[in-house]
Structure 1
Amino acid sequence: MSELIEDARQLPRRTTPTWEVELLISGVAVFAMLQLPGWLDDRMFALAPRLGDEWLSVLRLSYFYAKSAAVVLAATFALHLLLRAQWIALVGTHSVYPLGIRLDRLKMGPIQRAIEEARPDSTMEAIERADNRASIVFAIGVSVALIIASVCIGFCGTLLVATLATRMLGWQVDPLVTMCVVFGLFMVPFALATWLDHQFGARLRAGSPARRLIAGLLRLYTRIGMGRRNNRIVAILGSNGGERRMMAVVVGVMLAAIIGVVVADLLARDGSRFGSYAQLPDSDMLALHPAHYDDQRDPGRDAPLPYVQSAIITGPYLQLVVPYRPNRDEAAMRIACATRTQGLAGEALAAARLACLQDLHPVTLDGKPLKDLRYDIASDPRSDRPALLAMIDVRDLPRGRHELHVGRPSRAGRKPDQGTPDPGYDAIAFWR
């Protein structure tokens, strides 16, 4: 009995030797990882309105992969701390009660007692399973995050190069399509060599040209990081715990993280997508968006829409701010302003571009065009992004509701949605 009590007061001999380091890393890093997704959200919302569609694709892809890796690490460290806490609780409980579970003191029927007594399970075995479970969760989470980070570097790097190439060479090709084609061409030889090795490798003669070709391809891909030993943690877990099961876990965690990040991004951009609002009228023209009013909008999260100072205008002038949106204005100006700005430079070029922007963003008040509208170049004071500013005299407007329509250019190369066509303007209601 004394030996049993003495053994219970010590850690099991097969305890994972890295448990202290695992706890240290998880305890220190979990708080940083929990804050990292929010930091990435802020950077994404701050940069997105400054970029056109091509560069926005690079930013979005980088954001989705980076946030997915951060979410995986945050979940891994939090779950690992919980599992390590369970393990510590088991070790502590075993040291206090070294005799383990005393079934004779538990109230059970004869059938359940027979089932429990037939299970050859000791507290030491439960402690060892909890220890191993925590270490495996830590290893899987870190490995999946590293895989996502590697994919992010590969995909986003290729997309960045493809975007630069299409812009510099003037190709009329979608950079995202170019990236997919490049990756397809890169992966086809590896997939083909792997399939041929599985199907015919055992039947190919040593030294034959086909065997040398397959071996050369597989050796090349192994050297650039696609060998089975390159991710040693996943290889060890897969070879000992079942390859299919391990790959299902790795792929499942990756997909869950990426899909979760994409869905969260959609909900952050349009919260009305979530909830039982099937019968609520779905019309942008009937809705009052907080982003259209400076005293209600969130410049860090709202889309860069035209806005006025408030829904209720008490002063003599309506201050209309139209943010410059590269994904719409840049492409439209290349098409509409090319002839007007040809051969101009300096102040003349700037004035011609401002006049072109004014034509792209006409304004109507209660259905009547504002012919004396004048835009000035300004900036959003709360986001420091370029914008157009117009001061509209509303002293003669009668009391009540009024509506401002601010024209916007359509996105180049995009077909309008047949279900919800783009009206071509932003509607801002206000009251005098």
Structure 2
Amino acid sequence: MEENSTNKSWLQRLKDESWEAELLVSAIAIFGAFKLFDLVKWAANFFIDKLNPDQYIIAYFITFFSLIAVSALVSMFVIHFVLRAYWVGLVGLNSVFPDYSIEDTAYSKIYTKKILAILPKLKDSIQKVDELCSVIFSVAFTFLFIYGYIALFTSIYLLLFNILSKYVPKSILLIPAILIAVGAMIQTIVSLYSNLKQNKEKEKLQQLNFTLVKYANMMLFGPLYKNLLQVFMIFGSNFKKKKSLSYLILLFLFSGSVVAGIQLRNTNIFYLVGSNYQRYFDPYKTYSNYYKDTSNTNFLLTPEIQSDLIKSNVVEVFIPIFDYESSMRESICGKYEKPEDAPREERIRNRANYLKECYKKYHNIFLDNKKIDVSFLRYDNHHKTDQFGIVSFLNIKDLPEGLHELKIEKINSEGAYLYWTIPFYKSSQN
């Protein structure tokens, strides 16, 4: 009995003093959560570089929902920090002034009574704010676990799919994804149906719901499924008693969506929307990232020339080569035949010549709508973004002074799947 009392006292003391740890963790979490935006931005660029454009839509959902999750986390931690700081102020105020006073009021007693009639008790406010802070903290880390695990699991599955697809039929590799999707769909439908008022006492249906929830969550969340189910059950089993706290989650989702909308323009996520990678750049607009002297990006999606004002007789063109392009070279350039018995230096030279000619086959450059013959140098790596690419030097000595236009295409087996139009002004002044 005494041991239980000691444990209870320890737990109560921990609860009473947890606000200090919450404030510290919340401040650190705000800083860390903002840094996660850079991780989402990097993930979008990583998928653009590594994945075949046919799979961009999957990467879009991974990165977009990750951005929503990070935005919700940021919103929660900021709100938590503000509320917990407000709570500390209320507790301090309560220690000096335990309650409202009518006798010592600076206002008239009639006015004071009317105002107090619409104001909550100080202790009630302290308790409600404390509850809100505790709920926010648990929901924030639940979001982190859910979206973090799903994003990581999906990314690993997608990368393994691309690696193994060279050796295993794609239909077989899709089986796990289909099973998870179908299982999650069936579980959702059964859960909704079993929670209808008229079905809550049907034992066989509830047993089926339990089984589906258990195994569906095991598939979706792996080793975290019990921890997440525990949080869900705490909210679900206390829903009627604390409805206002449960509805608070909707506010976080809304605020997270607002923050995500603001942060979205700082990423390349929209580039991943289906075939939107071509419409991402309007051919009738000029972008600063087309030009080396004005570019402010850390990941090039487009070719780049030295400036929009060319005062020399040469235009230097840098074209980024994405990793996924290696998977389509064979259909365009033919299979590279590696000379097994040749010396190492000769093998390296043959490989370099093959790539050099291959790059020329699936890149076209037009100057004022006239295709020009170019040669490429392999460039490792871009001075700012560290990307691999190819460089060509275009002789424009005979071009008249004025506005001109470069059109650059990337070709696959079906034709030009990427193209950019880059205007520049040729000046005769050196």
Distance 2:311 2:397 in 1: 9
Distance 1:237 1:84 in 2: 21
Deviation at 1:69, TM superposition (A): 3.8
What are structure 2's unaligned runs of at least 5 residues? 1-11, 271-279, 340-346
Q: Which residue of 2 aligns with 1:309?
A: 306
**Residue-by-residue CA offset, 1:380-415 (whole Å, 9 max, x unaligned):** 2222222111112222322222222222226969xx
Does 1:186 pair with 2:188? no
Distance 1:59 1:292 in 2: 25
Q: Which amino acid in the other structure matches residue 181 of structure 2?
A: G
Distance 2:17 2:413 in 1: 58
- In structure 2, relative to structure 1, the CA distance for the partners of 1:394 and 1:16 (3 Å cut) is same
**Residue-by-residue CA offset, 1:156-213 (whole Å, 9 max, x unaligned):** 344344444434325389x8x87752322332554466568657684558xxxx9987
Q: How does 1:299-378 map to 2 (within 5 A)?
A: 299-301=297-299, 303-327=300-324, 329-330=325-326, 332-338=328-334, 341=335, 343=337, 345=339, 346=347, 347-371=349-373, 373-378=374-379
Deviation at 1:86, TM superposition (A): 0.9
Judge conservation of contact 2:183–2:216 (CA < 8 Å) in 1: no
Distance 2:166 2:199 in 1: 45
Distance 1:401 1:167 in 2: 47
Q: TM-score, normalised by structure 1?
A: 0.72
Deviation at 1:331, TM superposition (A): 5.4
**How large is the RMSD of aligned CA atoms in angstroms?**
4.3
- In structure 2, relative to structure 1, the CA distance for the partners of 1:262 and 1:215 (3 Å cut) is same
Judge conservation of contact 1:68–1:257 (CA < 8 Å) in 2: yes
Q: Which residue of 1 aligns with 2:424?
A: 429
Distance 2:120 2:207 in 1: 53
Q: Which residue of 2 aligns with 1:390?
A: 392
State the secondary structure of the residue aligned to 1:18.
Answer: helix
Distance 2:265 2:414 in 1: 23
Deviation at 1:155, TM superposition (A): 3.5
Q: Which residue of 2 aligns with 1:147?
A: 146
Judge conservation of contact 2:102–2:109 (CA < 8 Å) in 1: no
Aligned with residue 284 of structure 1, among 282, 285, 308 = 282
Deviates more, 1:254-263 or 1:25-34: 254-263
Judge conservation of contact 1:238–1:244 (CA < 8 Å) in 2: no
- In structure 2, relative to structure 1, the CA distance for the partners of 1:225 and 1:186 (3 Å cut) is farther
State the secondary structure of the residue aligned to 1:427.
Answer: strand
Identity %: 17
What are structure 1's unaligned runs of at least 5 residues? 1-11, 272-281, 417-421
- In structure 2, relative to structure 1, the CA distance for the partners of 1:187 and 1:286 (3 Å cut) is closer
Judge conservation of contact 1:306–1:426 (CA < 8 Å) in 2: no
The alignment of Structure 1 onto Structure 2 pairs a total of residues equal to 392
Q: TM-score, normalised by structure 2?
A: 0.72
Q: How does 1:216-227 map to 2 (within 5 A)?
A: 220=215
Q: Which amino acid in the other structure matches residue 375 of structure 1?
A: F
Q: Which amino acid in the other structure matches residue 181 of structure 1?
A: I
Distance 2:149 2:46 in 1: 25
State the secondary structure of the residue aligned to 1:298.
Answer: coil
- In structure 2, relative to structure 1, the CA distance for the partners of 1:88 and 1:52 (3 Å cut) is same
Q: Which residue of 2 aligns with 1:261?
A: 260
Q: Which residue of 1 aligns with 2:132?
A: 133
Aligned with residue 234 of structure 2, among 226, 233, 236 = 236
Q: Which amino acid in the other structure matches residue 372 of structure 2?
A: L
Q: Which residue of 1 aligns with 2:295?
A: 297
Judge conservation of contact 1:26–1:81 (CA < 8 Å) in 2: yes
Q: Which residue of 1 aligns with 2:410?
A: 408
Deviation at 1:231, TM superposition (A): 3.3
Distance 1:85 1:72 in 2: 20
Q: Which residue of 2 aligns with 1:29?
A: 29
Judge conservation of contact 1:69–1:145 (CA < 8 Å) in 2: yes
